């Protein structure tokens, strides 16, 4: 493998996936370099979210290869794959996906606790990120009391708390108004830039896509076009 | 408005005289302002001097004299380059994007590559506008927001155009 490939944060090659008879991805390739922000766009049902789930190692493709931070996901066992995802990848899914029975602070601290971090330290780091996300941790509401936009901010804090090398976000501003979405992206992209993390943003929103360095546009499960925006 | 290029694209379908050019133009853009004959003849004369069209024949069957113009090879190259090139996002109106798409489709071309390039050009401009926005005062920010909203509206139209073309020509990349 070439040196440039060694440096890629994420590399998908010939990835195919289908749900029963519905083909979601047909031979998709994607490369994301260090500190690069890539927007994956396309009409509803084009395979954007499937691509993100495969990149995260949540979903295994039926064909093709995925290399995450230099590791071939297919060659890793389940435990190693989970560890890699937990420690090096931050994921923001649609609608936040918070754990309803945990406080906001513990929701954000969760990835650190799962990675074996000591409780006080994990909660301290979580409080810092919650504050950056504009939420008051100790007195804050429970996840069920949050608006869609607030839940997304907590999800972003949770994705950032491990200081990942790669951030994957699926429609991160989906349930937010223009200004709320802007603040969330400022937080997410600002933190990524500070830490030198790469970002993959799945979005149908052109204003969000325009924050990326490069756009990869999907149609019917295949890459339709790529454009450098920087 | 890029009238010379539009006239060239109207001649792509075959030689025509000024009257045909005007009539076809008004048919392509029924919601736009009709072309004045004077504009058409002045444009055709200029294009002829530039070697982009040539006089194929001059008819005078009892009525007024009619000159039939045909596209030359350099004229065809000019119109192809115009149809492929994205409109200047900073200065052009959305109108030009629609005109290019209509001209490509009506003259038998494929607007797909143009629509893709225009989308990228719009996103790049939007990125430039968004990048410096944090340092703006309120007034500058509002002006910037307005530009971004207009670009977003154009982008939605571009996306819709690509979707509709894909529905209409599903076996090709885009276009007839």
Mutation test of the interface with chain B: which of A186, A210, A225, choosing the one with the most B Cβ atoms within 10 A? Answer: A210
**First CA to last CA distance, chain B:** 25
* Residues B22, B35 contacting (CB under 8 angstroms): yes
- The answer, for B124 touching chain A at a CB cutoff of 8 Å, is yes
Q: Which structure tokens are listed for A135?
A: 């939420």
**Residue B129: inside a domain:** yes
A100 pLDDT above the threshold of 90: no
A-chain CB neighbours of B114 within 8 Å are none
Whether B113 and B152 map to the same domain: the answer is: yes
A-chain CB neighbours of B151 within 8 Å are 206
Mutation test of the interface with chain A: which of B111, B112, B123, choosing the one with the most A Cβ atoms within 10 A? Answer: B123
SS3 letters across A113-181: HHCCCCHHHHHHHHHHHHHHCCCCCCCCCCHHHCCHHHHHHHHHHHHHCCCCCEEEEECCCCCCCHHHH
Whether B16 and B49 map to the same domain: the answer is: yes
Give the max Cα distance, chain A.
51
Structural domain ending residue among the three candidates B84, B115, B135: B84
Structural domain ending residue among the three candidates B84, B119, B150: B84
- Are A43 and B134 a contacting pair at CB < 8 A? no
Element (H, E) at B81: helix B73-84
pTM for this predicted structure? 0.86
In which domain, by residue range, is B33 found?
3-84
Tell me whether strands B53-59 and B66-71 are parallel, antiparallel or unpaired: antiparallel
List the 137-156 stretch of B: residues with Cβ below 8 A of A.
148, 151-152, 155-156
Find the radius of gyration of the CA atoms of chain A.
17
Whether B10 and B70 map to the same domain: the answer is: yes
- The answer, for B116 touching chain A at a CB cutoff of 8 Å, is yes
Residue corresponding to tokens 């603040």: A183
**Residue B100: inside a domain:** yes
Whether B100 and B77 map to the same domain: the answer is: no
DSSP output for A54-83 = HHTTSS--SEEEEEETTEEGGGS-HHHHHH
* Residues A214, A230 contacting (CB under 8 angstroms): yes
Question: What is this model's ipTM?
Answer: 0.87
The contacts of residue B22 (CB under 8 Å, 6+ apart) are: B34, B35, B37, B40
- The answer, for A214 touching chain B at a CB cutoff of 8 Å, is no
Closest-CA residue of A relative to B121 is A229
**Residue B13: inside a domain:** yes
Closest-CA residue of B relative to A207 is B152
Span A153-175, mean pLDDT?
92
Mean pLDDT per 10-residue section of chain B, whose length is 176 residues: 90 93 91 89 95 88 80 95 88 80 92 94 93 83 91 94 87 48
| DSSP structural state of residue B13 | G
**Residue B170: inside a domain:** no
Give φ, ψ of A17 to 5 degrees.
-155, 145
Whether B78 and B9 map to the same domain: the answer is: yes
Structural domain ending residue among the three candidates B51, B84, B117: B84
What is the band of A4 on the pLDDT scale with cuts at 50, 70, 90? low
What is the band of A140 on the pLDDT scale with cuts at 50, 70, 90? low
* Residues B129, B143 contacting (CB under 8 angstroms): no
Per-residue pLDDT at A203: 95
Span A26-40, mean pLDDT?
96
- Tell me the average pLDDT of chain A: 90
Q: Which residue has the higher pLDDT, A94 or A23?
A: A23
Whether B72 and B106 map to the same domain: the answer is: no
Q: How far is CA B129 from the centre of its chain?
A: 25
Span A143-159, mean pLDDT?
88
B-chain CB neighbours of A209 within 8 Å are 123
Whether B17 and B51 map to the same domain: the answer is: yes
Per-residue pLDDT at A48: 94
Per-residue pLDDT at B173: 46
Number of structural domains chain B divides into: 2
Whether B8 and B30 map to the same domain: the answer is: yes
CATH number at residue B53: 1.10.10.10
Strand order in the sheet with A71-72: A22-32, A10-19, A63-68, A71-72
**Pick from B116, B123, B166: CB nearest A206:** B123
State the CB neighbour count (10 A cutoff) for residue A140. Answer: 16
**Residue B90: inside a domain:** no
Per-residue pLDDT at A150: 86
A-chain CB neighbours of B148 within 8 Å are 207
CA distance B149 to A207: 9
Whether B9 and B72 map to the same domain: the answer is: yes
Per-residue pLDDT at B43: 96
The contacts of residue B50 (CB under 8 Å, 6+ apart) are: none
Per-residue pLDDT at B57: 84
CA distance B12 to A44: 37
Half-sphere exposure of A183 (CA within 13 A, CB side): 14
Give φ, ψ of A90 to 5 degrees.
-105, 135
- Are B127 and A230 a contacting pair at CB < 8 A? yes
CA distance A225 to A209: 14
| A to B CB pairs, distance under 8 Å | 42
Per-residue pLDDT at A71: 92
- Are B148 and A43 a contacting pair at CB < 8 A? no
Per-residue pLDDT at B168: 85
Whether B118 and B55 map to the same domain: the answer is: no
Whether B80 and B7 map to the same domain: the answer is: yes
A2 pLDDT above the threshold of 70: no
**Residue B39: inside a domain:** yes
Whether B20 and B42 map to the same domain: the answer is: yes
- Buried b or exposed e, range A152-176, using 16+ CB within 10 angstroms: bbbbbbbbbbbebbbbbbbbbbbbb
What is the band of A6 on the pLDDT scale with cuts at 50, 70, 90? low
How do residues A166-203 score in pLDDT, each as one tens digit? Answer: 999 999 988 788 888 888 899 999 999 998 999 999 99
DSSP output for B36-79 = PHHHHHHHHHHHHHTTSEEEEEEE-SSSS-EEEEEE-HHHHHHH
**Pick from A186, A209, A219: CB nearest B123:** A209
Per-residue pLDDT at B175: 45
Span A56-65, mean pLDDT?
92
Closest-CA residue of B relative to A209 is B123
Per-residue pLDDT at B42: 94
- The answer, for A206 touching chain B at a CB cutoff of 8 Å, is yes
**Residue B171: inside a domain:** no
**Residue B176: inside a domain:** no
**Pick from B119, B120, B126: CB nearest A207:** B126
């Amino acid at each position: 493998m070439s040196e440039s490939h060694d440096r890629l944060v994420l590399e998908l090659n010939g990835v195919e996936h289908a749900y029963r008879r519905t083909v979601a991805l047909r031979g998709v390739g994607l490369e994301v370099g260090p500190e690069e922000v890539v927007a994956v766009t396309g009409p509803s049902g084009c395979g954007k979210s499937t691509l993100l789930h495969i990149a995260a190692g949540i979903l295994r493709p039926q064909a093709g290869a995925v290399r995450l931070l230099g590791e071939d996901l297919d060659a890793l066992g389940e435990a190693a794959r989970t560890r890699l995802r937990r420690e090096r990848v931050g994921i923001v899914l649609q609608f936040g996906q918070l754990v309803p029975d945990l406080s906001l602070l513990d929701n954000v601290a969760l990835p650190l606790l799962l990675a074996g971090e000591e409780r006080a330290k994990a909660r301290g780091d979580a409080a810092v990120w919650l504050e950056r996300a504009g939420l008051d941790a100790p007195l804050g509401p429970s996840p069920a009391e949050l608006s869609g936009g607030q839940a997304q901010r907590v999800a972003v804090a949770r994705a950032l708390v491990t200081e990942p090398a790669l951030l994957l976000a699926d429609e991160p501003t989906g349930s937010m108004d223009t200004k709320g979405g802007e603040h969330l992206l400022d937080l997410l992209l600002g933190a990524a830039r500070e830490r030198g993390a790469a970002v993959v943003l799945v979005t149908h929103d052109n204003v969000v896509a325009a924050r990326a360095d490069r756009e990869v546009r999907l149609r019917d499960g295949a890459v339709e076009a790529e454009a450098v925006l920087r | 408005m890029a009238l010379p290029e539009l006239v060239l694209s109207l001649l792509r379908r075959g030689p025509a005289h000024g009257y045909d050019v005007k009539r076809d133009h008004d048919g392509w853009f029924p919601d736009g302002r009709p072309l004045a004959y004077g504009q058409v003849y002045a444009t055709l004369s200029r294009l002829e001097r530039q070697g982009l069209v040539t006089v194929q024949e001059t008819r005078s069957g009892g009525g007024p004299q009619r000159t039939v113009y045909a596209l030359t090879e350099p004229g065809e190259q000019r119109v192809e380059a115009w149809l492929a090139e994205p409109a200047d996002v900073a200065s052009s109106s959305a109108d030009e994007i629609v005109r290019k798409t209509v001209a490509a489709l009506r003259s038998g071309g494929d607007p797909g590559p143009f629509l893709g390039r225009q989308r990228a050009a719009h996103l790049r401009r939007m990125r430039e506008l968004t990048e410096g926005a944090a340092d703006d005062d309120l007034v500058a920010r509002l002006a910037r927001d307005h530009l971004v909203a207009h670009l977003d509206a154009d982008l939605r139209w571009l996306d819709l155009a690509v979707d509709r073309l894909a529905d209409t020509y599903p076996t090709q990349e885009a276009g007839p």
